[in-house]
Amino acid sequence: MAEDPQAVELPVVKRFKAKRLGEGLTSFRYVNQDAAPHPLACARYAWRVEEHGADIVMGTATKDIARIMHAAQDLEQLAHELAVYNP
């Protein structure tokens, strides 16, 4: 999740505990784009949910760095609401 050869600098990676999915990781990084002059700002959350045999990843990226910063709280709230549906 954190290793990316296109990354401008090392990503910021932290542990994250979601209400429903439990312990996971979140990362934030800037990634160069091949055909664009501005890097992408990327946020990603990831969990391994052993009881369901599932790896879950939620992410977003944008060239509008201010937008992703303003959305950080909403992204975290969404991450807390994700769940595995197993009928």
The pLDDT, as a whole number, for residue 3 is 66
Query: Which domain covers residue 56, as residue numbers?
Result: 12-81
Q: Which residue has the higher pLDDT, 32 or 78?
A: 78
Number of domains the chain contains: 1
Closest by Cα among 7, 3, 5, 13 to 61:
7
pLDDT score recorded for residue 38 = 87
Is 3 among the domain residues? no
Per-residue tokens: 45: 């959350």
Residue 28 lies in a domain: yes
Name the phi and psi angles at 2, rounded to 5.
Answer: -90, -20
Q: What is the mean pLDDT of residues 52-67?
A: 95
Query: Can you give the pTM of this predicted structure?
Result: 0.85
